[in-house]
Amino acid sequence: MKPLLGYRKPAPGTQPNHLYPPYVSSIKRAPKQPLISVPVTLSEITGPSFPREIASSKAFDLTRQHNGEPLGERIEVRGRVVDEDGRPIRNTLVEIWQANAAGRYLHKNDQHNAPLDPNFAGEGRTFTDEDGRYRFVTIRPGAYPWKNHYNAWRPQHIHFSIFGPAFAARLVTQMYFPGDPLLDFDPIFHSVPDEAARRRLISSFDWLTTEPDLSLGFRFDIVLRGRDATPMER
Amino acid sequence: MPGHSTPSQTVGPFFSIGLDELNRANLAEGSTGERVVVRGRVIDGDGQGVPDAVLEIWQADADGRYHHPEHASTPNEATSFFGFGRIPTDAQGQFSFTTIKPGPVHDPQGKPQAPHLQISVFMRGLLRQLVTRLYFPEEPLNISDPVLRVVPESRRDTLIARQAGSKETTLEWNVSLQGPNETVFFDC
């Protein structure tokens, strides 16, 4: 019988702990008991794979979902989803959501008094191709204030949700922009202890993705957990 | 090894914008098996319901098969049961979904697992998802389940749903983030 191969544990410091007190909302929501390590079973190394119909052919372009064009700086975000061994993650669903150019979300609980944009909903989805590549066309989201501490502002960011090949590889993260002065002060960004790991959350400006007379290009590669090389001994 | 995995970040308060499209509170649709309704609440460290949480369910079909290449050596053995659900909490932190009771999953090595749902929990305040499981009450296989067995006995009850009232098909199961009944969360 072939033994079950699990997914590698993250290197120390490369993932946030659940509790990070400077991010105040974590205090009442992070578990207090330690996580319990479990043996590898089929339940963690399998996961959903979605039919293509879930993402319409327009769903990757957040600037073409309404009658008019949204306000803001048009951008294209491209990247590759791979695992820690560099293998492409093919045909996996990528979901994104973001604020509009003024820093306002189309959500009933967003009380920031920046204007909504009737031509921008801020949601997109797509599948990676055979090489793990994805592409979104959108506008650069605005920074916005939040209540975490006095004069707190979130750096510009786009939320990403990636399924990957298995339940254990599921990742939800945020993509940031290079040179954003608010990154230095953001507790969510700084919840990741390792500096090199934090930098992987920052996209890079990319001439190859920049379209003349059309849009600025940013590259954001995503790495999912790699597979264990040897069977777990329990 | 070319690199380490990308760090997780919270879904934040506005995830419904991007995630609602895949909300699916009836996993049982079009499949055979014993129907169950699961209802419960996500509760924070103050005992308050969490109105901005979302659960993702992953489970096997009534015969214990996952809809995944890792679990089918021949196409005949593959299941058509999709097995995925996404359920946000309401303003009181409550959730409810309908599914079928999965069969015991037979791992290639070792004993069968007791019927269970694999569950991820996301919310504002969680910098990465929490992973837990829901097991079924009065299930003989619970005693030998390889995952339940590594959980301290005093905390196992947090993973086993209870029958709600007299209806056998309705189960109650809460996610307590902190406190004396803190749910068991896994590192997997």
Tell me: the pLDDT tens digits for B138-161? 999 999 999 999 999 999 999 999
Residue at B93 is within a domain: yes
Q: Provide the residue type at B63 as one letter.
A: D
And the tokens for B151?
């959980």
Name the active-site residue from A135, A159, A170, A227.
A159
Say yes or no: A85 contacts chain B, CB-CB below 8 A. yes
Residue at B51 is within a domain: yes
ipTM field: 0.96
Cα distance between residue B105 and residue A94, in whole Å: 28
Helix (H) or strand (E) holding B106: none
Q: Provide the residue type at A25 as one letter.
A: S
Annotated catalytic residue A149: no
pLDDT for res B78: 78
Closest approach of chain A CAs to the CA of B163, in angstroms?
Answer: 24
Name the active-site residue from A105, A125, A134, A140.
A105
pLDDT for res A234: 45
Rounded to an integer, the average pLDDT of A2-10 is 89
- Strand partners of residue A57: none
Annotated catalytic residue A154: yes
Domain count for chain B, please give it. Answer: 1
Residue at B59 is within a domain: yes
| Mutate: best of A15, A37, A42, partner B, most B CBs <10 A | A42
Cα distance between residue B44 and residue B24, in whole Å: 24
Q: A177-232: per-residue pLDDT in tens? A: 999 999 999 999 999 999 999 999 999 999 999 999 999 999 999 999 999 986 55
Annotated catalytic residue A144: yes
Residue at B1 is within a domain: no
Residue at B66 is within a domain: yes
Annotated catalytic residue A227: no
Cα distance between residue B19 and residue B101, in whole Å: 25
Cβ-Cβ pairs closer than 8 A, A with B, add up to 245
Say yes or no: B70 contacts chain A, CB-CB below 8 A. yes
Cα distance between residue B54 and residue B86, in whole Å: 7
pTM attached to this predicted model: 0.96
| Mutate: best of B89, B123, B127, B178, partner A, most A CBs <10 A | B127
**For chain A, which domains are there?**
50-224 (2.60.130.10)
And the tokens for B31?
């499949």
B36: CATH: 2.60.130.10
Domain that holds residue B117: 16-176
Residue at B28 is within a domain: yes
Cα distance between residue A207 and residue A49, in whole Å: 33
Cα distance between residue A24 and residue A154, in whole Å: 14
Say yes or no: A82 contacts chain B, CB-CB below 8 A. yes
Residue at B101 is within a domain: yes
Annotated catalytic residue A105: yes
Mean predicted lDDT score pLDDT of chain B: 93
Listed as ranges, residues in chain B with pLDDT below 70 are: 1-2, 72-76
